[in-house]
Amino acid sequence: MSIQVSPTVTNGSHGNVSGENNYLLELLQQCQKGVETLHVTSLQEIRDRASAIIRQSTLPTTKIEEWRFTDLSALKQIDFQAAVPCGLPEALVAPLTFPEAANSRLVFINGVYASELSAIGDLPKGVVVSNLSGLPAEYRDRIYNYLAKSEGGEEIFTTLNTAGMTDVAVVWISKNVVVETPIHLLFIANSFRTPTINQPRCLVVAETGSSVTLVEDYLNQFNIEEPETSEAEVSETVYFTNAVTEIWLGENAQVRHTRVERESVEAFHIGKTAITQARDSRYTCNAITLGAKLSRHNLDIFQTGEQTETILNGLTMVAGQQTADTHSAIALNYPYGMSRQLHKCIVADKAHTVFNGRVFVAKAAQLTDAGQLNRNLLLSPKARVDTKPQLEIIADNVKCSHGATVSQLEDDEIFYLQSRGINAADAQNLLVNAFAAEIINQLPILSLQQTLLKAVTREATTLNLAD
């Protein structure tokens, strides 16, 4: 397969080994603790290649354009230890699940599969949902045609994940199979006293003519070994989630993908989602970012055939000292491709959001239709937004647009609601909720919609906007 992509789609940081990258090597050492020799030959080769890249690389700094607005200094000040496998009572996990996916769920704790909390009994023939060790034999060799094969895999944190890969959440939809039941991949970080690093990994293959709805969910839960832990202490748990998801769509396949990041407010979350779409395929991503002290989501789309459709919706809501960075890149390489992107940010207190959305239209991508918009709502004078829509067009017969807006709550809208008997605080909360609801209401799972709308309402209320 040949994909025409500008080298700047990826954002790796390669350089000579120096004293400064000892931190990266120590991270690598921690990530490789407990690495199992499952499928020794193929998996070990993948890890070895990634490890070799890590040893010649350094962590990115703000001197690198792709990381100019996201400072990793706070991350580098913490010595993360390898997360250890642990269990959680079903009663604690149950509230985190969705009734719509009661029997189509995989749960991972600290990146380790929790079979006792997973349920995969409600899936049709031709659908495989499993972790790597439980994968049916006929699929074990097939996954190596896709695992760690996505474009952009050399990005430094993606490479770190690959070098320490121990288990993988695998979703495989066979040719022409339509899955009505949503599939829920739940990744729980469970650490407390010691800062830990965990590295979830997902591989999704939707063969020709198949269809699936997928929810990828990242959050934290308190340590069962310390039940006296208060909710406030849990919310301040320090850990590092470094997640990678690869999704492959065959011809005329459809994937509706929701990614929710609601980690601890003191956590670090760096995620990579790489999508490869064959001709006539349709991919929709709803990415919700609510948590983490510092988060970054790299979302890379590669259209590899004609008449391919990509829809990206995003919502980021941060407050306090949080920083949330969304870097997306869409490579349209063939004729009649279509993409739409709407990313919205709600920023309060001294929080900081970054949006860098690149759309690349190759010369061969004639009659492309691409639109991109980043909308930002500032709720505080000290809140900060850095937005950088990028549209690079080589083809000469296309319809493309992009833009960004930064605004505050409108006084006349608040006044209108107050004139209807709503107090100022409730009026402002209503407007914030309405801003977020445009994205949340598009999620394909009703219970998740309700959960996230409540989270946004709760967060907006605590901001005390009326003051």
Q: How far apart are CA 163 and CA 380, in angstroms?
A: 41
Q: What share of the chain is helix, strand, coil (3-state, %, to 5)?
A: 25, 35, 40
Q: What residues in the chain have per-residue pLDDT under 70? A: 1-20, 34-41, 192, 222-236, 464-467
pLDDT at 5: 38
pLDDT at 43: 87
Q: How far apart are CA 292 and CA 309, in angstroms?
A: 31
The full 3-state SS of 78-132, as one line of letters, equals CCCEECCCCCCCHHHHHHHCCHHHCCCEEEEECCEECHHHCECCCCCCCEEEEEC
- What does DSSP say about strands 369-378 and 338-347: parallel, antiparallel, or unpaired? parallel
Taking each helix axis from N to C terminus, what angle separates 40-55 and 22-31, rounded to the nearest 10 degrees? 160
Angle at 293 between CA 290 and CA 299, to 5 degrees: 60
The full 3-state SS of 287-348, as one line of letters, equals EEECCCCEEEEEEEEEECCCCCEEEEEEEEEECCCCEEEEEEEEEECCCCCEEEEEEEEEEC
pLDDT at 400: 93
pLDDT at 466: 47
- What does DSSP say about strands 338-347 and 309-318: parallel, antiparallel, or unpaired? parallel
pLDDT digits (tens, 9 = 90+) for 80-107: 998 887 888 888 889 899 999 999 999 9
pLDDT digits (tens, 9 = 90+) for 309-345: 999 999 999 999 999 999 999 999 999 999 999 999 9
Q: How far apart are CA 202 and CA 241, in angstroms?
A: 13
Chain-centroid distance, C-alpha 357: 15
Angle at 461 between CA 455 and CA 467, to 5 degrees: 155
pLDDT at 151: 85
Instruction: Give me 173's structure tokens.
Output: 């939809």
Q: Which of 184, 158, 191, 177 is nearest to 81 (CA)?
A: 191
pLDDT at 87: 81
pLDDT digits (tens, 9 = 90+) for 208-227: 999 999 999 999 875 444 55
Q: Are 331 and 5 in contact (CB under 8 A)?
A: yes
- The pTM assigned to this predicted structure is 0.92
pLDDT at 102: 94
pLDDT at 190: 83
* Residue that the structure tokens 């969304």 belong to: 326
